[in-house]
Structure 1
Amino acid sequence: MATFQVPDLGRLTEAVKDILTVRRVFGEPVETDGALVIPVARVSGGSGVGFGSGSSDRPDSDKPDDNDGSGGRPGSEEGGGGGFGVNVKADGIYLIRDGEAQWVPALDFNRLAASGMMLGLAAIVAWVVTSRN
């Protein structure tokens, strides 16, 4: 029977902290034409881990022999898994020139297109409703 090894959660935590840092939100400043440009993004992440074990007194007749030597006989089983995901979205930049800071938002073309489609759909529905009378 294979033994399940618990992952090093300390190493996993350090990797997550490296991914979700301030540098990911505020990128490296860039100086150009006498101005300082600081990129800004929205970063979010999530993770999950699961482990399980169990035993059974009854044989599993449909369970094929999985070459672990048990041959589908009663015994115990273990399992585990996990995952991690990160979402990064550009929000805009801070432009610093001559001691003045200016916020310049990023243009989200996907959101703009979706808003345009919704507005167009609303106009079509309004036209259909008013033309029926």
Structure 2
Amino acid sequence: MSFSDAMRTVRDSLSARTVYAEPYERDGITVIAAATVIGGGGGGSGDQPKVDGAGFGLVARPTGAFVIQHGKVSWKPAIDVHRLVGLAGAVTVALVLAHRRGR
């Protein structure tokens, strides 16, 4: 894969289709799921013939969904329970350490 091919793949991967799912409709309600997508790529070549390299990375996580019902649009955020529990644990540890240090 050439560098330009790799960059084209990165560009195509970071399109609106990656962020927004196809609308799903049922019983008069339309849902459009959305995600946060972070990505990047790079590449280069060496002094030797046929020594080229390229690559990219992509991270996506659900963000929420737009819900269209009775002509009104609302946003329903996705809640990452594991992340929320981890954050609560980190805050608790920080508070305990700060309290101990204050003695």
Aligned to 1:36: 30
Name the SS for the 2:46 alignment partner.
Answer: strand
Aligned pair 1:128/2:100, yes or no?
yes
- Native 8 Å contact 2:3 2:44 kept in 1: no
Name the SS for the 1:45 alignment partner.
Answer: strand
Are the structure 2 counterparts of residues 128 and 17 from structure 1 closer, same or farther at C-alpha, using a change threshold of 3 Å? closer
- Native 8 Å contact 2:23 2:30 kept in 1: yes
- Note the residue ranges of structure 1 that are not aligned, 5 or more in a row: 1-5, 54-76
Aligned to 1:7: 2
Q: Which moved more, 1:12-21 or 1:25-34?
A: 12-21
The CA deviation string for residues 8-52 of structure 1, in whole angstroms up to 9 with x for no partner, is: 72x434433332221111111111232100001111211111111
- Post-superposition shift, 1:7? 2.1
Larger Rg: 1
Which of 21, 42, 45 aligns to 1:48? It is 42
Aligned to 1:91: 63
Q: How many residues align?
A: 102
Please list, as runs of the form range in 1=range in 2, the aligned pairs for 1:49-128 lying within 5 A after superposition: 49-53=43-47, 77-78=48-49, 79-128=51-100
- Native 8 Å contact 2:3 2:54 kept in 1: no
Structure 1 runs of 4+ off > 6 angstroms?
A: none
Are the structure 2 counterparts of residues 16 and 24 from structure 1 closer, same or farther at C-alpha, using a change threshold of 3 Å? same
Name the SS for the 1:28 alignment partner.
Answer: coil
- Note the residue ranges of structure 2 that are not aligned, 5 or more in a row: none
Q: CA RMSD in A?
A: 2.1
| TM superposition score normalised by structure 2 | 0.82
| TM superposition score normalised by structure 1 | 0.65
